[in-house]
Structure 1
Amino acid sequence: MSLYEGIKEKVLANLTQAAQSAQTAGELSFESLPNFVLEEPREKQHGDLATNLAMVLTKQAHKSPREIAAILIKHIDTEGTWIEASEIAGPGFINFKLDPTWLTGVIPQVLSQGEDYGKVNLGKGQKVQVEFVSANPTGLLHMGNARGAALGDSLASLLAMAGYEVSREFYINDAGNQIHNFALSLEARYLQQLGQDVPFPEGGYHGEDLIDTVKGLIAKVGDKYLNVEAELRREFLVRYALEEKLTHIRETLADIGVHYDVWFSEQSLHDSGAVKQSMEDLEKKEYIYEKEGALWLKSTLFGDEKDEVVVRSNGTPTYFAADIAYHRNKFERGFDQVINIWGADHHGHVARMKGAMSALDYDPEKLEIILMQLVRLIQDGEVVKMSKRSGKYISLRELLDEVGKDAARFFFILRDPDSTVEFDLDLAKAESSDNPVYYVQYAHARMCSILRQAEELGYAYSGIPSQDELARLDSNEERELLKKLADLPSEISIAARLREPHRMARYVLDLASLFHTFYNSQRVLVDDESLRKARLSLIHSAKQVLANVLRILGVTAPERM
């Protein structure tokens, strides 16, 4: 528990005790204490904490909220709570002002816990799987995949910091209709490159990268597969291209800082009989019926607009059938919670997938779907629609070559998934305070610079200062920065519970801003030794916290810029 959460818990307990004491004294009457909140007021002039307890007691106590508030203030024991003053505000809120010296207690916590500062036990070791990107291995990763990579990886890191046991997973779509079309596309490009006049298949993959793939193949094997049976040729082409594409996907995702625990093959579900078994089980439960030779899932029972085909009339399972078996497999592996990050175009798939899990006797609430909106690339103030290389889209590789991993990740994490991201290419490359990732990283580099200067001047770090020395941190700028450091554990709890890693990006922006304000108003390397030691410990703490959060976001914390 963080220092701040400990104070809040103590005040909550003492408020409860105050109400009970007032009841014992005959000053308040109530059958049971209603739920009430203790929170930070929006306006700083209203104090550090505020409660609505007096207001929610009105109905039972038959007194005005302000009368009740006065009684509660009389009975509350402030010993050990850091409460310095209490006042009644507005219709009956009780505002508490804390002794600001509580803030200096965060420095010993940060410096003693180091990289572990901010960790909470919200998850209590629950097993959570986060599946993200899972792009078809039929082309290059694009901007949407980049957003999914940054979001999914940061969410996984956030949940791990919040006490969950997290597994990152990529689902390889290496079976089904898309692989059939992939094979036909590769075959056409292969034959065309060998001088054959063949049409390109309808519904094929037009990316220029497929031409590069077959050119690379021809350089290795020539026309070896020109005069063989089409089925054998396609099988070889797909095997070769899938290996190449998956290698490229792995390498590109590694370059944006994403490393998976599991790469799960869709084909393995067909080979093991898991898809067939899932369809048979759903049929036994009467969730599947036959029509026009095909098998249909009664997905309208789960809020879908129409029932969905799961096995085509030719006996081939649909992608949805494999997806049902895949999600069943996730729960069979013992995950307590399963989180998928999908593009917003998959919104219609959410209800039917949750319904299928319910039909197979799994709790649909344990399957969470985070829908992610589109990405638009902006350059020179205009939306970029074409890639110079492919003629169709901007690849993730191209984006990384332009702006690097840190900018790519930070820009994608900065907005919540439900918002469209406008990725300003020029801003992402700018070395100015307008560039959010530069602004945050520069704060960390500046902290490192101050600590290097201190060492050069012989002011070597000598451990955590005494409480008397830390009490010298009494300016508004210092206290605001300390409060932000104290907030980290609760921020991680909130962000993890809400599945919102973008809150952590906002947190580091605020932290960087508060540090820059402090730096511009207070000298650190002063002659006063006790003050200097206190301020250097503040810099050490801020640097540690900034690095801890950047690690969650997968962004580098540079020591020099």
Structure 2
Amino acid sequence: MKEEIKNLVYESIKAAKLIKLNDLADIQIEISRTKNPDHGQFSCNIALHLSKELGLNAVDLAHQIADKINDQKSLEKIVVAPPGFINFYLSEGVKAEVIKKVLKLGAEYGSKTIQEPKNIILEFVSSNPTGPLHIGHGRHAAYGDSLAKLMRKAGHQVYTEYYVNDTGRQMNIFALSVLIEILNLKGASLALPRVSYQGAYLEQIAKKTQNSIDVNFDSLLEHKDLKDSYASCSADEEIDKLIADFQNQLGIESFEKFTDSVSSLMVTTIKKDLEEFGVVYNNWFSEREMINKGLVQKSIKQLKDNDLTYKKGGALWLQTMNFGDDKDRVIIREDGRSTYFASDIAYHFDKRFRGFDVLLDVLGSDHHGYLARLGAGLAAMNEPQESLEISLVQFVSLFKKNKKVQMSTRSGEFITLNELCEEVGKDAARFFYVSRSHDQHLDFNLDLAKSKNNENPVYYIQYAHARIHRVLKELKNNGLVFDKQSGISNLEKLSAQHEIEIIAKLSDYPDVITQSAKNKSVHSLANYLVELAQLVHSYYSAHRFIVENLELRNARIALITAASCVISDGLSILGVSAPEKM
């Protein structure tokens, strides 16, 4: 309804010829819900904003705008209030139409609300396959998956993808870390290098792979050079020399085969964890396969052909500063290896090649410079920079008994996503992750997430849904039947304040979907569901539903059934269940 009123105001300003036509697009019209029903259901303050610019009295200007609005079907009346507000009172027919729409459309209510749907590829999580997903990845997963569902609900075509960084130095370090764990299981006493992966999960992987991969581990144990600590080297030199030692002893091909095996095992684990978290991707995209197909070299060639590269210090640089980046970037290192940035350019160019309008990446907050960098890379490939959009997700801190849980991914001391879900449940984890704006730091209260009371927001919402179904079950147990047509025909009997507020809140749902999708603000939907649940609980406590008056009974059942539909649909977008019994 907000969008409809906004359009009415826009057309009124246009008809009144208050603003030049070419300036109309710059007008920011805001429609807000009134706090006091005596002032109508919606209010607009555009006259206050335009009065100074036009040199007019705000109240007089508000009257000019209101007088040009002509909608007898949706609006009962429009009232101008000092110092220049335009208040809108909805007709009874519109209020009834909301309930009719929800009951008719069910889960489709609020769908396809945007005017210009896009073909979007949404990449999120994309954690290196070097360890299990931890609680930080969980927030990315919950946000990304819910955002995909939200944008699909609004009408966009959304294709989800996980980019697997399954090649390069980090994968070699991971393979080396596992190899050392295997050798230690076989009796060696090798310390992990300073730059290596840590954690109990390495031993688990080592146990799974030591007998399933065709590698001569005994020859490694006999090779005394591998036991050297390289104490005089820097941490990076130490790990690189150890990798070279293992490659020389095993052979490059055998080492790569081992690396591929542990990478595949980790990808399988990550995929399983995400599926159990309710996250299923359309595609898993392998960086290694992309490189093997020559896509990175092909992109580098195009950049050279576009005359946007130069040699410096033995490396090949891309002139990204030409496209707004703060400095030029290396795409081929001195040793001839392509950089991660070169792979990123090739990957994002491939997304455009596959026909996507919008390339939406969900990244960690430490990637704030990627928009300018990747956008410049796309522009250098003759692709529009504006096709790239990035949502940055802030970090998560866990709190238990009011104390912060200390974690360190570097030392392998972290809580996995699986462990979190085992402790608080998938529903609570999914909801708590998106209960706060993704660009704000999240303090995850474990005790609150586990609680079964109204302080826990996800429990509060689910309980509202379950309470509605308790009424429906009681109706059935009493041998009564809900007559939907009678309920729709008697919606005018819903005159109590609780009923008016619920109807108004249900009418907001399409606008919440539209704006949440537009702003990529999943938390707005979560907040909406809390507010709707609050209204349902208040209504449940204040009124009886199975009353003697048949027409009033059916009208009230129609209302709470509609509320149940919206709660269930909203929770499904967030990846949370809507139980009928609690």
Tell whether the structures are fold-level matches, with TM greater than 0.5.
yes
How many Å separate the matches in 2 of 1:30 and 1:380?
58
Q: Call closer, same or farther: CA 1:136–1:403 in 2, change over 3 Å.
A: same
Q: Deviation at 1:70?
A: 4.6
The alignment status of 1:189 with 2:173, answered yes or no, reads no
Residue pair 1:379, 1:425 contacting (<8 A) in 2 also = yes
Report the residue type matching 2:314 in the other structure: G
Structure 1 residue aligned with 2:542 = 521
Structure 2 residue aligned with 1:26 = none
Q: Call closer, same or farther: CA 1:123–1:282 in 2, change over 3 Å.
A: farther
> Mind listing any 5+ residue stretches in structure 1 that lack a counterpart?
21-28
The alignment status of 1:151 with 2:143, answered yes or no, reads yes
Deviation string 1:379-431 (CA, Å, 9 cap, x unpaired) is 1111111499x851111111111111111110011111111111111111000
Structure 2 residue aligned with 1:373 = 394
Deviation string 1:211-247 (CA, Å, 9 cap, x unpaired) is 1111122354697543374235423432321222111
Deviation string 1:103-157 (CA, Å, 9 cap, x unpaired) is 1221110011011111024164421111001011011111111000000000000
How many Å separate the matches in 1 of 2:192 and 2:463?
51
Q: Deviation at 1:358?
A: 1.0
Report the residue type matching 1:94 in the other structure: I
Superposed, which structure 2 residues align to 1:137-148 within 5 Å? 137-148=129-140
Residue pair 1:225, 1:233 contacting (<8 A) in 2 also = no
RMSD of aligned Cα (Å): 2.7
The alignment status of 1:414 with 2:407, answered yes or no, reads no
Work out which of the residue numbers 444, 447, 450 in structure 1 matches 2:468.
447
How many Å separate the matches in 2 of 1:297 and 1:385?
41
How many Å separate the matches in 1 of 2:385 and 2:334?
29
> Mind listing any 5+ residue stretches in structure 2 that lack a counterpart?
221-248
Structure 2 residue aligned with 1:403 = 424
Q: Call closer, same or farther: CA 1:450–1:4 in 2, change over 3 Å.
A: farther
Q: Percent identity?
A: 37
The alignment status of 1:249 with 2:270, answered yes or no, reads yes
How many Å separate the matches in 2 of 1:153 and 1:494?
17
Deviation string 1:170-190 (CA, Å, 9 cap, x unpaired) is 001111111121222222222
SS state of the match for residue 218, structure 2?
coil
Q: Call closer, same or farther: CA 1:402–1:142 in 2, change over 3 Å.
A: same
Q: Call closer, same or farther: CA 1:65–1:212 in 2, change over 3 Å.
A: closer
SS state of the match for residue 340, structure 1?
strand
Q: Call closer, same or farther: CA 1:460–1:311 in 2, change over 3 Å.
A: same
Of stretches 465-474 and 335-344 in structure 1, the one that deviates more from structure 2 is 465-474
How many Å separate the matches in 1 of 2:47 and 2:511?
26
Superposed, which structure 2 residues align to 1:9-88 within 5 Å? 9=7, 13=11, 19=16, 35=27, 37=29, 39-40=31-32, 42-44=34-36, 45-52=38-45, 64-70=57-63, 77=70, 79-84=72-77, 86-88=78-80
Q: Call closer, same or farther: CA 1:437–1:51 in 2, change over 3 Å.
A: closer
SS state of the match for residue 425, structure 2?
helix
Superposed, which structure 2 residues align to 1:104-115 within 5 Å? 104-115=96-107
How many Å separate the matches in 2 of 1:374 and 1:61?
46
**Normalising to structure 1: TM-score of the pair?**
0.91
Q: Deviation at 1:360?
A: 0.9
Structure 2 residue aligned with 1:161 = 153
Residue pair 2:487, 2:556 contacting (<8 A) in 1 also = no
Residue pair 1:123, 1:164 contacting (<8 A) in 2 also = no
Residue pair 2:41, 2:88 contacting (<8 A) in 1 also = yes
How many Å separate the matches in 1 of 2:68 and 2:542?
41
Work out which of the residue numbers 205, 212, 223 in structure 1 matches 2:197.
205
Residue pair 1:7, 1:81 contacting (<8 A) in 2 also = no
Q: Call closer, same or farther: CA 1:47–1:172 in 2, change over 3 Å.
A: same
Q: Call closer, same or farther: CA 1:179–1:65 in 2, change over 3 Å.
A: closer
The alignment status of 1:544 with 2:568, answered yes or no, reads no
The alignment status of 1:505 with 2:498, answered yes or no, reads no
Structure 1 residue aligned with 2:241 = none
Q: Call closer, same or farther: CA 1:493–1:184 in 2, change over 3 Å.
A: same
Q: Call closer, same or farther: CA 1:245–1:467 in 2, change over 3 Å.
A: closer
Residue pair 2:488, 2:555 contacting (<8 A) in 1 also = no
Superposed, which structure 2 residues align to 1:33-432 within 5 Å? 35=27, 37=29, 39-40=31-32, 42-44=34-36, 45-52=38-45, 64-70=57-63, 77=70, 79-84=72-77, 86-100=78-92, 102-122=94-114, 124-220=116-212, 224-227=216-219, 229-231=249-251, 232-386=253-407, 392-432=413-453
Residue pair 1:504, 1:549 contacting (<8 A) in 2 also = yes
Q: Call closer, same or farther: CA 1:104–1:293 in 2, change over 3 Å.
A: same
